[in-house]
């Protein structure tokens, strides 16, 4: 007697094959992303350190953070300030992309020089800019004094006024090459006949830029915007190497504050609560960017 033969349907076999390939990645994602996140949320409602057992304390960590911790608020505002610098870098990159997309001599060299900032390791970028901003031997102070712009060197990284703008400048410079390449790719994908038709209709260069270039560059610009904001809020190595969050807490951001709470003060429970707020901030930034980019990004209108 022949044994019954069960044959899976084609759609079922395809689903099994897909999940077989996805299973290792999903397992790794669960072990190293979902599980730690869940444990972090649970830890934020406890009082715990390596030397004592965990005790459930409810919302006490969050109450301390919101109503008693001035450093947290300073780090939060600094983080928002760095996020807000992303559009500045994108605007500069847009101007550079328009320049190197034109028929200028040596444009390939200029593209390479501008893009070189992005592949550099963040630690290397931080060391370069730390030297450039140095009060005694820094290039910026040297040039400023040669041009008689200042009477004495400016302590960029040791000043409450200049420290955060200096870190923001280094962050913008590092991402400038990435922004430019993305925007340049978008520029080169715009059909030339649109500009020709607009010129025939009497549209000048500025109107062609507003009515053709910008609308068709919206997907590229929003991609830069999302990546730039996410990079800004996770710039731990850049900030830590340049200023370590100082002077005082003038350049403290949430990610450096979390590191100090956990690994310097061993307040892992409180660091977990700050991490939850940081995670919610990232979700809010990503959600906002997605909503903004969900409009009619490709519409072209010529008056």
- In terms of Cα–Cα distance, which of 51, 250, 105, 264 is closest to 168? 250
Residues 6+ apart with CB under 8 A from 57: 45, 46, 47
State pTM to two decimals: 0.84
- pLDDT at site 208: 87
Residues 6+ apart with CB under 8 A from 84: none
What span, in angstroms and rounded, lies between the C-alpha atoms of 293 and 219?
7
What span, in angstroms and rounded, lies between the C-alpha atoms of 233 and 81?
10
- In terms of Cα–Cα distance, which of 33, 68, 54 is closest to 268? 54
- pLDDT at site 179: 93
What span, in angstroms and rounded, lies between the C-alpha atoms of 135 and 158?
9
Grouping H, G, I as helix, E, B as strand and the rest as coil, residue 296 is: coil
> Locate tokens 């960590």: which residue?
61
Q: Do the Cβ atoms of 71 and 80 come closer than 8 Å? A: no
Q: Do the Cβ atoms of 253 and 235 come closer than 8 Å? A: yes
What span, in angstroms and rounded, lies between the C-alpha atoms of 176 and 106?
19
- pLDDT at site 57: 92
Q: Do the Cβ atoms of 247 and 27 come closer than 8 Å? A: no
- pLDDT at site 299: 43
With 0-12 / 13-18 / 19 or more C-beta atoms within 10 angstroms meaning exposed / middle / buried, residue 261 is buried
- pLDDT at site 149: 87
- pLDDT at site 106: 81
- pLDDT at site 192: 84
Residues 6+ apart with CB under 8 A from 79: 232, 233, 253, 254, 255, 281
Q: What are the structural domains of the chain?
A: 61-292 (1.10.3720.10)
C-alpha atoms less than 13 angstroms from C-alpha of 215 in its C-beta half-sphere: 14
pLDDT in tens, the chain (303 residues): 455 555 567 778 788 888 889 999 999 999 988 998 899 999 999 998 777 788 899 999 999 999 999 999 999 999 999 988 888 999 999 999 999 888 888 888 888 888 888 888 899 999 999 999 998 889 999 999 898 888 888 999 999 999 999 999 999 999 999 999 999 999 999 888 888 888 888 888 888 888 888 989 988 988 888 888 888 877 899 999 999 998 989 999 999 999 999 989 889 999 999 999 999 988 887 787 777 666 444 444 444
DSSP state of 53: E
| Bridge partners for 52 per DSSP | 49
Grouping H, G, I as helix, E, B as strand and the rest as coil, residue 33 is: helix
């Amino acid at each position: 007697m022949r044994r019954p033969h069960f044959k899976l349907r084609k759609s079922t076999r395809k689903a099994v094959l897909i999940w077989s390939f996805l299973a290792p990645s999903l397992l790794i994602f669960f072990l190293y992303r979902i599980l730690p996140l869940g444990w972090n949320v649970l830890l934020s409602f406890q009082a715990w350190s390596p030397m004592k057992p965990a005790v459930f304390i409810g919302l006490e960590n969050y109450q301390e953070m919101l109503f008693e911790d001035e450093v947290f608020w300073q780090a939060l505002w600094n983080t928002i300030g760095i996020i807000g610098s992303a559009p500045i870098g994108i605007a500069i990159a847009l101007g550079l992309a328009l320049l190197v997309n034109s028929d200028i001599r040596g444009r390939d060299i200029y593209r390479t020089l501008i893009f070189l900032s992005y592949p550099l390791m963040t630690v290397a970028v931080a060391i370069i800019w730390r030297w450039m901003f140095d009060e005694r031997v820094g290039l910026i102070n040297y040039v400023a004094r040669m041009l008689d712009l200042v009477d004495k060197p400016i302590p960029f990284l040791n000043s409450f006024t200049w420290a955060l703008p200096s870190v923001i400048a280094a962050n913008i410079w590092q991402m400038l090459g990435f922004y430019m390449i993305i925007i340049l790719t978008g520029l080169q994908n715009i059909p030339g006949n649109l500009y020709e038709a607009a010129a025939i209709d009497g549209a000048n260069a500025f109107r062609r830029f507003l009515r053709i270039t910008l609308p068709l560059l919206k997907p590229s610009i929003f991609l830069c915007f999302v990546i730039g904001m996410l990079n800004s809020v996770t710039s731990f190595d850049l900030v830590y190497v340049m200023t370590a969050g100082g002077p005082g807490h003038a350049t403290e951001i949430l990610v450096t504050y979390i590191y100090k709470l956990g690994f310097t003060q061993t307040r892992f429970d409180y660091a977990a609560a700050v991490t939850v707020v940081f995670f919610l901030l990232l979700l809010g930034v990503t959600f906002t960017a997605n909503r903004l980019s969900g409009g009619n990004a490709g519409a072209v209108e010529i008056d």
